[in-house]
């Protein structure tokens, strides 16, 4: 059996009387897209934050590459190859696409930031950054200011930055949010290819995208996983249709 790249065991998180995550077991295997869906307030973002190290669970473990990282912070998990993307605020808007990609590559080498001025001349860093931009289809935009990119291109740049650090796994919280129909379609094609580089744990509201992309789906309702399965299984699941897809029994 293939070892999961990322796994949660019995993750539980309470906010006062509210249990936002209840005994959640999930895993992510090489090459797959595992989607987590559920209505607003189901606990999707809370779960993602615990996986990334932004929130400490009350109980349970997070394993990355088989290692227990539950007590590590977000930065340490990122250095260990857990790529959380689409935090658009992390981009330096006044810098070019290439400069942003170099920042990502520089992070991968643990060199102090003060060497950034020389980074443009550093062939290895530049190679990494350019290869990552080519992979996300932004090679031609290398000299463009980040501020001039479209919403969708900024998300692709975030992925490029993650690629420079050699990610083991991607964790994405609603990457389609704010993209129009055309942008979502392009992002869907892009994510489909990206799973060959590293598997993706995908929280997404856009059901067309989820049904097109997911190898497996877990359905979260009121902090609990109520169903797991393939796209076909989830579409046919009675409890899911009633609880989430809004259909009458």
Name the residues that contact ligand ADP, by CB under 6 A.
Answer: 15, 18, 20, 38, 40-46
Tell whether residue 55 is a contact of Mg ion (CB under 5 A). Answer: no
CA proximity to 62, closest of 129, 53, 120, 229:
53
Q: Name 3's Cβ contacts closer than 8 Å, sequence gap at least 6.
A: 29, 66
Report DSSP state, residue 148. Answer: G
| From the list ligand ADP, Mg ion, none, partner contacted by residue 2 (C-beta under 5 to 8 A by kind) | none
CB of 44 to Mg ion, least distance (A): 5
CB of 94 to ligand ADP, least distance (A): 31
Measured from each CB, the residue nearest to Mg ion is: 45
Q: How far apart are CA 244 and CA 180, in angstroms?
A: 23
What is the enclosing helix (H) or strand (E) of 170? strand 169-173
CB of 106 to ligand ADP, least distance (A): 32
3-state percent breakdown (helix, strand, coil) of the chain, nearest 5: 40, 25, 35
| From the list ligand ADP, Mg ion, none, partner contacted by residue 160 (C-beta under 5 to 8 A by kind) | none
**Shorter beta-carbon distance to ligand ADP: residue 2 or 40:** 40
Query: How is residue 204 written in tokens?
Result: 């997404």
The owner of tokens 């995908």 is 202
| From the list Mg ion, ligand ADP, none, partner contacted by residue 15 (C-beta under 5 to 8 A by kind) | ligand ADP
**Shorter beta-carbon distance to ligand ADP: residue 41 or 178:** 41
**Distances from the Cα of 54 to the Cα of 30, 50, 247, angstroms:** 24, 6, 35
Tell whether residue 45 is a contact of Mg ion (CB under 5 A). Answer: yes
Q: Which of these segments, 24-32, 44-52, 95-103, 133-141, binds Mg ion (CB under 5 A)? A: 44-52
Query: How is residue 24 written in tokens?
Result: 């959640």
| From the list Mg ion, ligand ADP, none, partner contacted by residue 89 (C-beta under 5 to 8 A by kind) | none
**Shorter beta-carbon distance to Mg ion: residue 45 or 61:** 45
**Shorter beta-carbon distance to Mg ion: residue 44 or 155:** 44
Length reported for the chain: 249
Q: Name 94's Cβ contacts closer than 8 Å, sequence gap at least 6.
A: 145, 146, 147
- CB count within 10 Å of CB 123 equals 7
**Shorter beta-carbon distance to ligand ADP: residue 46 or 164:** 46
**Shorter beta-carbon distance to ligand ADP: residue 80 or 174:** 174
- Residues near Mg ion (CB under 5 A) are 44-45
């Amino acid at each position: 059996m293939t070892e999961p790249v990322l796994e949660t065991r019995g993750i539980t998180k309470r906010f006062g009387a509210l249990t936002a995550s209840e005994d959640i077991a999930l895993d992510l295997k090489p090459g797959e897209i595992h989607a987590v869906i559920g209505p607003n307030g189901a606990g999707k973002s809370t779960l993602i934050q615990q996986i990334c190290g932004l929130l400490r669970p009350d109980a349970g473990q997070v394993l990355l590459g088989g290692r227990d990282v539950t007590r590590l912070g977000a930065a340490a998990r990122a250095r260990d190859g857990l790529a959380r993307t689409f935090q658009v605020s992390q981009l330096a808007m006044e810098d070019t696409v290439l400069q942003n990609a170099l920042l990502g590559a520089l992070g991968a080498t643990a060199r102090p930031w003060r060497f950034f001025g020389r980074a443009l001349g550093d062939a290895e860093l530049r190679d990494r950054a350019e290869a990552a931009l080519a992979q996300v289809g932004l090679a031609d935009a290398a000299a463009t200011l980040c501020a001039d990119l479209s919403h969708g291109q900024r998300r692709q740049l975030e992925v490029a930055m993650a690629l420079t650090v050699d990610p083991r796994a991607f964790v994405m919280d609603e990457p389609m949010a704010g993209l129009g129909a055309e942008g979502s379609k392009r992002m869907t094609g892009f994510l489909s290819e990206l799973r060959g580089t590293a598997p993706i744990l995908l929280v997404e509201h856009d059901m067309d995208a989820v049904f097109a992309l997911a190898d497996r789906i877990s359905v979260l309702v009121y902090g609990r996983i109520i169903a797991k399965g393939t796209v076909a299984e989830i579409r046919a699941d009675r409890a899911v249709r009633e609880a989430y897809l809004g259909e009458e029994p």
